Structure 1
Amino acid sequence: MGGDAGPEGEGGSLRGNRDFVLLWGGQLVSELGVRATGVALPLLVMAMTGAPALAGLAGFCGALPYVLFYLPAGVLVDRWDRKKVMLVCEAGRCLALGGIPVAVWAGRLTFPHLMVASFAAGTFFVFFSVADKSVVPALVPARQLPAAVAHLEARSRAAGLAGPPLGGLLYGMGQALPFVYDALSYAVSFTATFLIRTDLRVERAQPPAGLGHELLEGLRWLAREPFIRLSTALVGAINLTVEALKLTLVVLAVRHAGSSATAGLILGCYGAGGLAGALAAPRLTRRASPGRVAIVLTWLWAVLLLPLALVPPVPVLCGLAAAIAFGGPLWNVVMVGHQYRLIPDGLLARVKSVVLLVSWGTIPLGALAGGLLLDQAGARTTGLCLAAFMAAIAAAATLSPTIRAAAPAP
């Protein structure tokens, strides 16, 4: 999918699309803040408490809204002005994260405060992400959707590359600084979203029915699409594993290298691998069937996770992190492009909210399970568990006739 030169896609460059560029640029700055905080939050919790399990609990609080709010968010975003939803969410995240450095400077920061702020930011993220992913077809012509997905992947992976080292560097300069940057990044994203001119409201042929009825409408559509349903379940299991992996990498860096900058470096290599995958995705996935992508990548990830059990040195950890992350964009470009081609516009937010609930709802479990495993069993056993779980995911994909037979959408 897409052109040979990178994520320009078969529909040509998107640089002339003012509103898409605003969305892309604002979210690039915002995602840099999210990734920086993703390194800083567990480091801050471990500095306050010395307990990896509590670092996992803080991550659990931030991801718990994925389970609680994705389904109602999908119904409500299909009713509301999606631009206003995005603006409110960015303002809310700015306030939630901005309170952390204020508490640090006042000497009043507590672990419950971090949990509440993390939960609030996660809640605003849920509503923003449903709206953000639903507006792409409104901003981009259908022929440019593959290019748009690749651009969004490159944005996310670029933030994953630069954000963790930035978070580690800022944290080393002062515990509050990553959270200051994160709060300011939401203000930038708010401004960029405000400048979008396209009408992002959903046109409905009929007035909204009850929340339950509209939610069931999205669920019924998804039930009739077996590949999207099964591939979404696979993503949920994969994301659980990856979230535990990220915490494992941070703990290994702190315990074996004793440096917050090393944690940022390892997660930065994870981001570099993801960015390389995003740039290569249009070329590598052009003729790939979704089923083949699912099977090959899950087995590859299972093999790459196994060396974690050996607690390798930092250079090896960097290489493993980059190699694991390389496959993520390949998966997303194929699967998300497949979804955009099949899901009707009037059901987009509702169906995507279900997909996001399953895909992202396992993340709190991954953070919690990773923290508990590291705390109780150590890094070696955690690495073995992650590799075994990913192998089970790969076996399930391989044995599924629906996955094996899946072909690209027309």
Structure 2
Amino acid sequence: MEPPESLNRNRAFNFLWVGETASQFGFQVAGLATSTTAIVVLHATEGQVGLLNGLQTLAFLLIGLPAGAWVDRWRKRRTMIVADLVRMVALASIPIAWAMDALTIYHMMIVVTVFGFGTVFFDVAYQSLVPSIVHNRQIGQANGRLEASFQVARVGGPGLAGWLIGVFSAPVTFGLTVGTLGFSAAAIASIPGTEPKPAAPKDTVLWHQVRDGISYVKNEPLLGPLFLCIACNALFGQGVFTLLPVLALRDMGLDAQTLGTLLSFGAVGGLIGAGINRRVVRRLGDGHTIAAFSIIASLVNFGLPFAAMAGAHGWIVLVCVGFVQSLFQTVYNIVQLSLRQRICPKPLLGRLNATFRFAVWGVMPIGSVSAGLLAGAIGVVPAMFVFLTGTLLASIAMTFTPVAKRNRIG
């Protein structure tokens, strides 16, 4: 059998890689800018911060499932370009409103909601495009590079965002995100070749197609139990993510620039994880890697609340926890995504990705809002321990799934 073309020479993948990297970089910058603008500029309460974070992923709950059926009907590249343009327009309104002294927490809630709708379609489309432009044996390698881009964005994005916020202001920092999304749209538009129009589905009723995607996940013996564990892990993990900026900026007294720098150092672990994932899988196998690395990533996060108790040394705790957790979480993410893409029929990929995105991102508004409410009632640190325990239990449950009991899959 003739070996597949090197990914380095695959122009279609390389343009997708560049576009996805630009999109992720802008997303990371906007993430810190959103929390900082709400907490520092608009003096939002814990509940409002939780609601703001929840609205960013509300679209996955509302349209996450039908988005997969729509993407299966549409050309993936065009979908990604339109999604980038919609997100550009939404974010551009924040610095404009701030300059006019008209920015409110409600304006930001509307913007992040619209941004979330665009992200739904972009993410489902790019994940569904990968198997059609790379060889099946290169899917893991391609996902490793895409995940590495995400980690590069995590390394550089928060640090740059913190510097921009310190020099200019949090609202003005959104201008960088607008530029990166524009660059992403241009890169996606430059992918060579004409993407064929997807074949018309046999059943044109939208909800019947959505049902087909859900049924496939439910009845697939490897993916069904994994789906439930991932959904629970995401719900509690989003609660932890929502409380982290509140813990750092309020309880620890850090400024946005320092927080961004610390998050950047911590995310270096993700870069290492993206580089070693194939070697880990060769040694441990798909199933064992997914289960073990999820548990370790959840355990490491228990160090986060202790950062607030460590006084002047709290920043060291944040860096160490972020580094180790990012390494294990990245390997886990790459392996379980590659597994799904390898075993799913291509005509169902959009619906499969949308179903998993619905599981992961659709439950995040619940995690964000409940974390904000619980923190307001019992305090940030106790609330964080509650959500950390939830992530650990979900990870432990993963060891009892059929995936974890099989060493080599696909």
TM-score after normalising by structure 2: 0.92
- Alignment correspondent of 1:141: 135
Contact 2:57 2:116 in 1 (8 A): yes
Deviates more, 1:129-138 or 1:218-227: 218-227
Structure 2 residue 286 is the aligned partner of structure 1 residue 290: yes
Deviates more, 1:85-94 or 1:206-215: 206-215
The change in CA–CA distance for 1:281 and 1:401 in structure 2 (over 3 A counts) is: closer
The change in CA–CA distance for 1:126 and 1:205 in structure 2 (over 3 A counts) is: closer
CA deviation vs aligned residue, 1:187-224 (integer Å, no higher than 9, x gap) = 11111111112333454275552112212222222222
Contact 1:139 1:198 in 2 (8 A): no
Counterpart of 1:99 in 2: which secondary structure? Answer: helix
Deviates more, 1:92-101 or 1:332-341: 332-341
Unaligned runs of 5+ in 1: 1-9
Structure 2 residue 385 is the aligned partner of structure 1 residue 384: yes
Q: Give the aligned residue type for 2:236.
A: T
After TM superposition, give the deviation of residue 45 of structure 1 in Å: 0.7
Structure 2 residue 264 is the aligned partner of structure 1 residue 263: no
Counterpart of 1:209 in 2: which secondary structure? Answer: coil
After TM superposition, give the deviation of residue 12 of structure 1 in Å: 7.1
CA deviation vs aligned residue, 1:332-386 (integer Å, no higher than 9, x gap) = 2211111111111111101111111102212222222332233332232123213
Q: Give the aligned residue type for 2:194.
A: D
After TM superposition, give the deviation of residue 75 of structure 1 in Å: 0.7
Counterpart of 1:109 in 2: which secondary structure? Answer: coil
Counterpart of 2:170 in 1: which secondary structure? Answer: coil
Deviates more, 1:66-75 or 1:137-146: 137-146
The change in CA–CA distance for 1:208 and 1:235 in structure 2 (over 3 A counts) is: same
Q: Residue 273 of structure 2 is aligned with which of 268, 271, 277? A: 277
Using the alignment, how far apart are the partners of 1:55 and 1:83 within structure 2?
33
The change in CA–CA distance for 1:165 and 1:254 in structure 2 (over 3 A counts) is: same
Structure 2 residue 18 is the aligned partner of structure 1 residue 25: yes
- Alignment correspondent of 1:44: 37
- Alignment correspondent of 1:327: 328
**Aligned residues: CA RMSD:** 1.9
After TM superposition, give the deviation of residue 401 of structure 1 in Å: 4.9
After TM superposition, give the deviation of residue 309 of structure 1 in Å: 3.6
Contact 2:239 2:368 in 1 (8 A): yes
- Alignment correspondent of 1:344: 345
- Alignment correspondent of 1:362: 363
- Alignment correspondent of 1:408: 408
CA deviation vs aligned residue, 1:82-105 (integer Å, no higher than 9, x gap) = 222111111100000011111111
Q: Give the aligned residue type for 1:347.
A: L
Using the alignment, how far apart are the partners of 1:11 and 1:276 within structure 2?
26
CA deviation vs aligned residue, 1:247-290 (integer Å, no higher than 9, x gap) = 33322221213311122123223422212211121211223333
Structure 1 residues 46-195: aligned runs within 5 Å:
46-47=39-40, 48-173=42-167, 174-195=169-190
Contact 2:68 2:124 in 1 (8 A): yes
Q: Give the aligned residue type for 1:364.
A: P
Using the alignment, how far apart are the partners of 1:236 and 1:365 within structure 2?
11
CA deviation vs aligned residue, 1:278-332 (integer Å, no higher than 9, x gap) = 1121211223333322332233234323233433411111111121111122112
Contact 1:308 1:384 in 2 (8 A): no
Using the alignment, how far apart are the partners of 2:249 and 2:160 within structure 1?
16
Structure 2 residue 232 is the aligned partner of structure 1 residue 237: yes
The change in CA–CA distance for 1:202 and 1:408 in structure 2 (over 3 A counts) is: farther
Structure 2 residue 307 is the aligned partner of structure 1 residue 303: no
Structure 2 residue 214 is the aligned partner of structure 1 residue 219: yes
Counterpart of 2:47 in 1: which secondary structure? Answer: helix
Deviates more, 1:70-79 or 1:308-317: 308-317
Q: Give the aligned residue type for 2:132.
A: A
The change in CA–CA distance for 1:395 and 1:98 in structure 2 (over 3 A counts) is: same
The change in CA–CA distance for 1:365 and 1:200 in structure 2 (over 3 A counts) is: farther
Counterpart of 2:199 in 1: which secondary structure? Answer: coil
Structure 2 residue 9 is the aligned partner of structure 1 residue 16: yes
- Alignment correspondent of 1:7: none
Using the alignment, how far apart are the partners of 2:377 and 2:64 within structure 1?
32
After TM superposition, give the deviation of residue 15 of structure 1 in Å: 1.8
Using the alignment, how far apart are the partners of 2:354 and 2:195 within structure 1?
17
Using the alignment, how far apart are the partners of 1:365 and 1:91 within structure 2?
28
The change in CA–CA distance for 1:180 and 1:286 in structure 2 (over 3 A counts) is: same
The change in CA–CA distance for 1:252 and 1:178 in structure 2 (over 3 A counts) is: same
Q: Give the aligned residue type for 1:155.
A: S
Contact 1:233 1:359 in 2 (8 A): no
After TM superposition, give the deviation of residue 46 of structure 1 in Å: 1.0
The change in CA–CA distance for 1:66 and 1:275 in structure 2 (over 3 A counts) is: same
After TM superposition, give the deviation of residue 227 of structure 1 in Å: 2.0
- Alignment correspondent of 1:3: none
Residue correspondences, number: 400
Using the alignment, how far apart are the partners of 1:269 and 1:357 within structure 2?
30
Contact 2:140 2:334 in 1 (8 A): yes
Counterpart of 1:265 in 2: which secondary structure? Answer: helix
- Alignment correspondent of 1:253: 248
The change in CA–CA distance for 1:275 and 1:242 in structure 2 (over 3 A counts) is: farther
